[in-house]
Structures are given as structure tokens and as C-alpha cells.
Amino acid sequence: MAIGIIGAGKAGTVLGRYLTACGLEVAGYMSRTPAHAARAAELTDSACFDDFAHLAARCNMVLIATPDGQIGATAAALAPHLTADHVLAHLSGSLTHAVLKPAHAVWQAASLHPIFAFSDPEMDLAPLASAVFSVEGDAAARQRLTALLAPCGNAVVPVTAADKVRYHAACVMASNLVCGLYGEAARQLTACGFSEPLARQALAPLFLTNARAIIDRGPTDALTGPMERNDLSTVRAHLQALADDPLGDAVYRSLSLALLPLVAEGHPERDRADMEKELRSNHADNGSNVRRSETQENPSDDAHLLRLFHSKINQQGRH
């Protein structure tokens, strides 16, 4: 099965290199930036295509590795050259196969998403060997993509179109949003007098050790700190220290609330009511128009808590 790849950025180039390393045939690349296609072709010992007709004629599987906003237009331009023998797939984490396939299409369509962060087109391929791929779309396309990856040994998990966006949100939580959390922790250290480079250096072993523990033992067994100990006095002290920082307060409260199910799993005998009440209270309104009494109307209302957080953050933006 010959594979053509449209888009020669980080994801398209690395995936092509990986498929080639697994013994699969990458026929070549097509890109809006010819130099990128040429480099990707060089790395995979494949060809460069300068039009959709030649690419479709040479390949029976086409992977679109462009930014999400370009996938639909790319598929539409490629469509006149596809046949019933083709599988057309994109690599978007959030879009479904519907963006590839109008009602009259004869080809099979799918989305294939590696749960992996592509950092550089020429990055080491070894970490990709343990990545899980999700696949969504037409049954025949899913089957062919799963068979395609069999020589690579990666797990391939089906995801429904209805679940695709939620699935992608989960991936973002574990990847992109972690950058925001790390950045916020560094910002708090700079407020304590650390330089930015020293803050990142100080947090690195803490972050990496904890990440390794989560991977090895799972989040429940890896959890340490005041939430795991049900240390209400320390949590209250943290909230007091963050009382003049709406963003820091919101991050601390929301993620501490996300720890409550883990604490319940690890220590089902503990009473967590006081801790939850503290985390849902409004100790840091920082001059916003949100009254403490408003947060106590329904302390279990997560939507209300999120409205409170947004109010705090918006208030911070106005200062």
C-alpha cells in the first residue's frame, strides 16, 4: 500500500519517517512549501509531488497532515482524482472524517490521530513506538488503517465521531494545558523572587519525577501533598496566599477539585466535605462583583464555580 502525505510540517514529516522505518512504503509528499516537501522526501527516500493528480495516481492511501483549517479545502481539491480504491485520512485530533467526504464520494475516509506531541520534523522516532493511535471513520477505512499500522506495533483504538471532540479535549488536557500549569507554577515562583530560568530549573525535577510516577503507578497512587493528606490548614494557607491573584486562585481551586475523585479512590474512608466546601468558597474575589453569598447558593454547582472563575480572570484582565 503506497502512502502519499499532503503537508510536510512536523506531524507529516515525522509520521512519514516513522512509517518508512517500520518498512512501509511512503510514496512521497506534497506541500505548499516546496522546500519542506523536498526535505521530507529526502528523509523518507521518497518523491515530491507538485499536483494532486500525480499524487493520487501513485498512492492508494493519502494522509492529509495540514492544519485543521486547511483540511476541507485540501480534500476538495484532491477529490476529483480519488477512486473507490483510495483511503483518504487526516491527522486532526478534533475533526471527524466528515470533513473529507461529501455525500457522493466513492472513496473511504477516516481520521487517524497519533496521541503524541511532534516537537521537530527530525526528532528521535523511538518515543513514537509506544504512541497510541485513534481511528475514526468509515469501517473499511478504519480496517485498512489498523492493518497499515500493524507492522509498527502501535495500539490503534477506535473513536466514534460523536466522541471525537471530547477525546481531543482529553489529549489537550494531558499535553497543551500542562504547559499552562507549568507556566503558572513558574510565574508563582517568580513572584517569590526566582528568576524565570531558575524557576523552570527548580520545577523540572519535581515535574519529571511526578510525571514518571503517574505513568508508572497511575494518578491515584502518584498523588502526594496536602490534598492527598486531607491537610485543610495548608490548603487554606495556599488560598490565602493566592487571594490577590485571581488566575492563580482559579487554577489552584479548579485543579484541587479535580483531585477530589483521586483522593476518594485512594482514601474512601476520609470525609472530604470540609475540603470541598473550602475549595468551592469565594475567598479571593479580588474586588470583583461576585459576592461570597453567591458562591454558597449551591456549593456543588460546578457551572457556578466556573462562572466565578471566569469573573475573577476577567476582572484581572481589566486591571
Report the C-alpha gap between 252 and 226 in whole angstroms.
Answer: 12
Return the pLDDT at 104.
Answer: 78
pLDDT < 50: residue spans in the chain:
284-300, 313, 316-319
Return the pLDDT at 302.
Answer: 53
Smallest CA-to-CA distance from 263 within 311, 230, 287, 295 is with 230
Smallest CA-to-CA distance from 161 within 213, 218, 98 is with 98
Return the pLDDT at 61.
Answer: 98
Phi, psi values for residue 156, rounded to 5°: -125, 120
Return the pLDDT at 310.
Answer: 53
Report the C-alpha gap between 236 and 100 in whole angstroms.
Answer: 51
CB neighbour class for 194 (10 Å; exposed up to 12, middle 13-18, buried from 19): middle
Return the pLDDT at 311.
Answer: 56
Return the pLDDT at 296.
Answer: 42
Phi, psi values for residue 168, rounded to 5°: -70, -35
Sign of CA dihedral 143, 86, 13, 42: positive
- What's the whole-model pTM score? 0.84
- What string of DSSP letters covers 130-159? G--EEEEE-HHHHHHHHHHHGGGT--EEE-
